[in-house]
Structure 1
């Protein structure tokens, strides 16, 4: 075992160095597009924070998903977030596997450029929709009587620009149509479906996406229409 590790370690190191060199060359060519995609993630968060100031709590709308799926409850809201975190982190790790494995179907820089392009397009449409129609948030902290259901007018521009991170992202209200979690989940799953090689993982990814959509509705974080539109 020691002999095998000693023989393979230099090969692995050469592989990492070679891929790093190639990816850095691509990054130097595409960094502006990557940066623009990352900046738009902040703009999307800023827009979601802004619509929270417009949110007005009210009765939860009639929803077919709420009638079918049992309510998880406020204390189990972490379940859907935990699954999303697992999908998010595992996908990020997979996008860097060409640095280690010899089987390669994409360049990491080019893949993330495409992913960010799709996210920007989807999030731009999302901003338009949730500013066009504000619905009463179904999440527990967005309901009438909740401390965060109504935000007082901001005291300064800085308060808005900082978006109260991370609480402002986790406990937002008003940015409903359509679900941001489903945008990320579907973009990640579709990306792996196109570039991945393991049929079992592709099937598992789609199953997790379905489970994620059901958990979002069961957690009352979105209406069913938010998941369907996404």
Structure 2
């Protein structure tokens, strides 16, 4: 038993080491775009913090979702956060599964490059939207009478840049249309739907996205419009961006460790053509040696045609010269 475990541990270590080497090569090539996507996450948080200074509490807007779904209450608001955290952590762990499992369907670096592109585009639209019009927040700490509903003017720039993390993120107001939680949820679910391999998990993921939407409304963290706009905006953004991005190589067959670039493909095509031409010349030379002459293939074909014609003429003359009945 101990020998078996040691052998499997060695195989796993080799697998992790080989995959890490491949992913690091990709990371050294794509690090600029990945870093830009990560930096924009801070910019998005900074924008959400800034709109909180502009927020003014007021009466809740009439909302169809509030009428249809009973209010969970302030003591049960954590339910939507637990589900969102589960979706987030599960997706992150799944995105690194090629380091351990043999089912190689994608490169982790390239996958996160696409995910960050989806997130950045959706978050940019979100920033433009919630700065256009500030709605009175429906969350408990954003309502009238709450000390957190309105932020006093900042004393210095550093107070704004630090965004009071994590309290400033958890108790923000004003960044409503559209839901940031739904941006992450829908991007993760759509990504797994395309690159995941388990059909049952795909259906379960979409079900979790629907439940997440209902919990956000029931906990009064967003209006229904924030969730509805997120559903069609994020899906459209992912559809159009994914359509214009180069498709990731499928690693299911396990034939290639790294994606082949266009230059490599061109060089490989040139080498194959050169090899085919060289093989053709070698065959012609071999044919000449076997026939005992140095006549090229064109002359050989012409001579063959002439010999065949002479043979036909000779046979025709002989048949004419032969008497009938012989």
Give TM-score scaled by structure 1 length.
Answer: 0.99
1:72 aligns with 2:63: no
1:111 aligns with 2:141: no
1:159 aligns with 2:148: no
Aligned to 1:181: 181
Q: How many residues align?
A: 230
**What's the secondary structure of 1:91's corresponding residue?**
helix
Cα distance, 1:10 vs. partner? 1.2
Cα distance in 2 between the residues matched to 1:147 and 1:53:
13
Cα distance, 1:212 vs. partner? 0.3
Cα distance in 1 between the residues matched to 2:158 and 2:145:
27
Query: Root-mean-square deviation (CA), in Å?
Result: 0.7
Gaps of 5+ in 1: none
Cα distance in 2 between the residues matched to 1:165 and 1:31:
26
Give TM-score scaled by structure 2 length.
Answer: 0.70
Cα distance in 2 between the residues matched to 1:209 and 1:18:
35
1:1-230 aligned at under 5 Å gives the runs 1-230=1-230
Cα distance, 1:99 vs. partner? 0.2
Cα distance, 1:71 vs. partner? 0.2
Cα distance in 1 between the residues matched to 2:3 and 2:67:
61
Cα distance, 1:47 vs. partner? 0.2
Gaps of 5+ in 2: 231-326
Cα distance, 1:9 vs. partner? 1.4
Cα distance in 2 between the residues matched to 1:19 and 1:51:
43
Cα distance, 1:3 vs. partner? 3.6
- The structure having more radius of gyration, on CA atoms, is 2
**What's the secondary structure of 2:53's corresponding residue?**
helix
**What's the secondary structure of 2:152's corresponding residue?**
coil
**What's the secondary structure of 1:87's corresponding residue?**
helix
Cα distance in 2 between the residues matched to 1:212 and 1:31:
32
Cα distance, 1:25 vs. partner? 0.3
Question: Could you say which structure has the greater relative contact order, defined with CA pairs below 8 angstroms and 6 or more residues apart?
Answer: 1
- Extract structure 1 runs of 4+ deviating beyond 2 A: 1-4
Aligned to 2:265: none
